[in-house]
Amino acid sequence: MASAGLKRKACSFAALTARKRPEAAGEPSQATDWSSLPPDITRIIAEQLLAEDVTDYMCFRAVCSHWRAFTTSPCDLTLQETRFRPRGWVALCDGDGVRPADACEITLFHTSTSRRLHVRLSELQNHRIVGFTDGLLILLNKGTTAVRVLHPFTRVFIDLPPLAPIFHHLVWMKAAVCRSHASIAVVAWFSVVPVVVYAEPGKPHWSVIHQGLELWTALPFRGRLFGIRKGTGEIVQVYPLFPQHPVVARIPSLFGCPAFCYYYLVEFREYMLLAVQHRRVSQSKKGWQPFAFALFLVNINQRGLVLLSSLGDRALFLSKDRCLCVSATKLPSISSNSIYFSLPNFDPGVVYSLSSGTFERTSTYALIHDLKERVRPSVRPFTLADHLTTYCHHFEWSKGLMFHEYYVIPSSWKEMLRKITLQDCEIQVSCVCEENEVGSLTSKKKNLGITGTYYLVCCSFKYLPMPLSFYCYSFHAGLLKIR
């Protein structure tokens, strides 16, 4: 594995927005009067480019001062304007074991144009990337637990309060950006604690909006956050807050016990799509059939489900962390009308064809270990399906590891496990409570249903080779440090 912070070589985003082309030697200077383009024509062209991608719009504005004067700056300080967000961009993984946050750089890929941009972001220093929404990066400060939302192209960011003063028990948080009245809101939820919190710019602290709500998966959609309540098969609106988190739709019970099904939410052609992975496989089909899938469009307004039989030219990449829908027409290496997913602790790469009803292991499957020792080196180059699958599995992506190679790490790889675990536990939280505030924090803790010692553990249980108590934090000299 490469050392943390290693810089990678790739094309830079800065080259796209160069404002002046150098003249060739001996070439006569032929200045172009760009101001001769009428303002209304300039705006029409700019709007057409903005509808496709914000980077094209930024390149257009970089041509001359007149075009910039006639168009709106994409540097929206509130990050509320969705037109200026880097929609359609996903983050790639180099598979070298270097965290993008530690390297302070990230490689972005546009799923419609296949453009790849390498962006250096000094703002990633001392942060961990905990989520993406419409291409916006959600960061957690390792020293203060303050949350930041960053636009990777305009470099505009919004800082939010630290999580530590309100909640000291974090076991791998997940977060999403939603719409608020004046700007944006960040909603965070946790793996093993049934609490959902949110914060807005300008507010001094985070607020609890749900207690006792465990989410199987969640999807930011049209400025709101929706999720599937664990163990019930209910699709609920998580944010904005409504009394008793009203049920948007109920998943049919014909798939059997919800505990034996997997549910996924994904944005599909500007609609919300529900994918149900269940075990009731038709006996008439031949071949390897580990699961069956059922697809529904979620009608938010009428609060119901509509059965969907085909994805057309689309393909789905499913994971509990996040899901993705791409066009196979624009990405020819991806199979259309198919679902890419993984079988936990069994097979990291499986593709299901809705057209033929058959399952197959992807040809990119690379077993680099036998669950005990390494048996072969990393198989490169990685395919696009490998990258998109890894992007959907945030645990592996955030560590710079390809999911299909590292979905299981043998316990014999002690050095790798130790490095990953220590990096996960790098967060140090300043002690913010005074003596007279301890009682209020204790009562708040009881109200949240939390028992035991305060912990701050931002890591995944699957990478813990030693007991959890080894990684817990305790108060010492005004800081929460590793024991």
- Give the other-Cβ count within 10 Å of 474's Cβ: 12
| Residue 116 three-state SS | strand
How far is residue 172's CA from residue 477's CA, in Å, rounded to a whole number? Answer: 25
Q: Which pLDDT score, from 0 to 100, does residue 407 have? A: 85
Residue 232 CA, distance from chain mean position: 24
How far is residue 367's CA from residue 357's CA, in Å, rounded to a whole number? Answer: 26
CA distances to 141, 298, 402 from 375, in Å: 37, 45, 17
Check whether 290 has a pLDDT greater than 60.
yes
Q: Which pLDDT score, from 0 to 100, does residue 379 have? A: 82
Q: How many Cα atoms sit within 13 Å of 26 on the Cβ side?
A: 0
Quote the DSSP letter at residue 290: S
The Cα angle at residue 89 between residues 192 and 51, in degrees rounded to 5: 125
How far is residue 416's CA from residue 283's CA, in Å, rounded to a whole number? Answer: 44
What tokens were used for 29?
A: 């200077």
Q: Which pLDDT score, from 0 to 100, does residue 416 have? A: 87
Q: Which pLDDT score, from 0 to 100, does residue 240 have? A: 92
Residue 427 CA, distance from chain mean position: 20
Check whether 160 has a pLDDT greater than 90.
yes
Check whether 480 has a pLDDT greater than 90.
no
Q: Which contiguous run of DSSP H or E holds residue 106? A: strand 105-110
- Which strands form 116-120's sheet, in the order they lie side by side? 89-91, 105-110, 116-120
CA distances to 103, 150, 188, 248, 262 from 122, in Å: 9, 11, 24, 41, 38
Q: Of 16-25, 268-277, 462-471, which one has max mean pLDDT?
A: 268-277
Instruction: Report the range of poorest mean pLDDT among 275-289, 301-315, 430-444, 456-470.
Output: 456-470
The tens digit of pLDDT for each residue in 15-59 reads 555 545 555 555 555 555 676 889 999 999 999 999 999 999 999
The partner residues of 479 in beta bridges, in order of sequence, read 430, 476
**400 Cβ partners below 8 Å, 6+ apart?**
93, 94, 95, 96, 97, 98, 99, 100
Check whether 269 has a pLDDT greater than 80.
yes
Q: To the nearest whole percent, how much of the chain has pLDDT over 70?
A: 77
Q: Which pLDDT score, from 0 to 100, does residue 164 have? A: 82
| Of 108 and 440, the one with more pLDDT | 108
Q: Which pLDDT score, from 0 to 100, does residue 16 have? A: 57
**384 Cβ partners below 8 Å, 6+ apart?**
331, 333, 334
**pLDDT band with cut points at 50, 70 and 90 for residue 408:** confident
Q: Which pLDDT score, from 0 to 100, does residue 182 have? A: 83
**pLDDT band with cut points at 50, 70 and 90 for residue 315:** very high
pTM tops 0.85, yes or no: no
The tens digit of pLDDT for each residue in 162-176 reads 988 765 545 578 999
What tokens were used for 3?
A: 């050392």
The tens digit of pLDDT for each residue in 410-453 reads 888 888 888 888 887 777 655 444 333 333 444 444 444 333 33
How far is residue 457's CA from residue 446's CA, in Å, rounded to a whole number? Answer: 19
Q: Which pLDDT score, from 0 to 100, does residue 364 have? A: 56
- The DSSP string of 124-192 is GTTEEEEEEETTEEEEEETTT-EEEEE-TTT--EEEEEESTTT--EEESEEEEEEE-SSSEEEEEEESS
Query: Amino acid identity, residue 125?
Result: Q
Boundaries of every domain in the chain: 1-19+35-212+433-463
How far is residue 63's CA from residue 70's CA, in Å, rounded to a whole number? Answer: 12
How far is residue 384's CA from residue 388's CA, in Å, rounded to a whole number? Answer: 6
What tokens were used for 455?
A: 């912990």
The tens digit of pLDDT for each residue in 336-389 reads 999 999 987 678 889 999 998 888 888 656 678 888 888 888 888 899 999 999
Residues 314, 269 contacting (CB under 8 angstroms) = yes
Q: Which pLDDT score, from 0 to 100, does residue 260 have? A: 81
E-assigned strands of 163-283?
Answer: 169-171, 173-179, 184-190, 195-199, 207-211, 215-221, 224-229, 234-239, 247-250, 262-268, 271-278
Q: Which pLDDT score, from 0 to 100, does residue 291 have? A: 85
Mean pLDDT of the chain: 81
What does the buried/exposed string (b/e) look like for 122-131 if buried means 16 or more CB atoms within 10 Å of the residue's CB?
ebbeebbbbb
Instruction: Report the range of poorest mean pLDDT among 32-36, 137-141, 182-186, 324-328.
Output: 32-36
* Across 69-73, average pLDDT: 94
What tokens were used for 283?
A: 């006996």
Residues 295, 311 contacting (CB under 8 angstroms) = yes
Quote the DSSP letter at residue 376: S
